Amino acid sequence: MRSQADGLEGEASGGAHQNQRDRSRAEADLDGLVQRLSQLEGLLGKRDIQAPASLFAHHPFPELGAAAALGDDAALVPAAPGHLLLACEGLHPQLVAEDPWFAGWSAVLVNLNDIAAMGGRPLALVNSLWSQGPEPAQALLEGMGFACDKFGIPMVGGHTNLQSPYTALSVAVLGTAPGPVLSARLARPGQICYLLAKHQGAFHRHYPFWDAATQADPQRLRAHLELLVRLAAAGVVVAAKDVSMGGIAGTAVMLAEAAGCRLELNLEAIEPPPGVALEAWLACFPSYGFLLVVDPSASADLAAVVAPHPELWCGPIGRFGPGPASVALIQAGVRSLLWPGGEALTGFTASPR
């Protein structure tokens, strides 16, 4: 016959076994949950960030302390006087596919030019990169890294996806304008259009891209961008436009459209680099090229500011007249409309919505 103590011992033993089974079940449930969570696509995808993390400096602004180290949800950048400037560029898919390193380089370059065209200094860059694997992404990242080092501007964050069905790149830049902002809308009739450009260089492969920067001295490149800030601060230039992929011709149309002015360009006043045809120069992206709007009384001041940079070509190529907005080209006494102005190009006109 079992005693009461035997019964209690049996209950205790049975309870212990039940507790062990419950613990084992709980451990199995937790292990299963951990396994499923560890395989989440949104978690595993973060490993793609290792690609830019292996290339860009982790602490671009050490003076701001630990909070400025990269890896947080947003980058901390130093405060700067003046107006904030924000720009973004997406790279042509063909260039990204055929020449990813140069696409990465170009993505940084064109953004820095956009800030300079407004009379500003760049503070920091971010990028959005989609790639069909690590190899094309690496070339894009290395091109961006080379440009960041060349111009001394940090890449402070972005988005990286190496599992994409396509490869694409866009880059954005934050900058400040310490003095007057060189908006294209500020051009007025009677003012002169100057071209500021750099002739040293060569066309990159088969692209309409005049490479005047990849082989250039970094300090000189930075000084060239800073020149726009100086011209704005001195009041020598009142408006400007970066010569974009539309070339001198296309940029002139965008400038006239934004200003609401008639612009006439004298083709005989435009000097291409040696050995380059005028049409090719009018249609290419020159790496470093700006249309500057200058009052006639400030022409001598412009020449004086640019004089310490004999490697740059700067000359008057046209004049603004009263609207309606249009662009005409003049050569050998013949005048022809490039853009009659009746149909919008960008839609950003002289009268802001």
pLDDT greater than 50 at residue 353: no
DSSP string, 28-65: HHHHHHHHHHHT-HHHHGGGGGHHHHTTS-S-S-GGG-
- CB of 303 closer than 8 Å to CB of 192: no
What confidence score (pLDDT) does residue 124 get?
98
What confidence score (pLDDT) does residue 349 get?
85
pLDDT greater than 60 at residue 202: yes
Mean pLDDT of the 128-146 span: 95
Residue 74 to residue 124: CA distance in whole angstroms: 12
Query: Which residue in 288, 172, 168 sits closest to 226, CA to CA?
Result: 288
What confidence score (pLDDT) does residue 323 get?
79
Place of tokens 């103590």: 5
Domains of the chain in start order, with CATH, are 48-57+79-177 (3.30.1330.10), 184-339 (3.90.650.10)
DSSP string, 212-269: -STTS-HHHHHHHHHHHHHHHHTTS-SEEEE--TTHHHHHHHHHHHHHT-EEEEEGGG
pLDDT greater than 60 at residue 189: yes
Q: How many CA atoms lie within 13 A of 152 on its CB side?
A: 10
246: CB partners within 8 A, 6+ apart: 253, 254
Average pLDDT, rounded, for the chain: 93
Place of tokens 């640019």: 306
| Distance (Å) of CA 341 to CA 140, 182, 193, 253, 259 | 38, 23, 18, 9, 12
pLDDT class of 4 with cuts at 50, 70, 90: low
Among the ranges 51-55, 67-71, 290-294, which has the highest mean pLDDT value?
A: 290-294
Query: Which residue in 127, 88, 90, 130 sits closest to 111, CA to CA?
Result: 88
How would you label 197-209 residue by residue, b for 16+ Cβ within 10 Å and e otherwise?
bbbbbeebeebeb
Residue 45 to residue 253: CA distance in whole angstroms: 43
Residue 270 to residue 73: CA distance in whole angstroms: 47
For the segment 212-263, what is each residue's pLDDT rounded down to a tens digit? 999 999 999 999 999 999 999 999 999 999 999 999 999 999 999 999 999 9
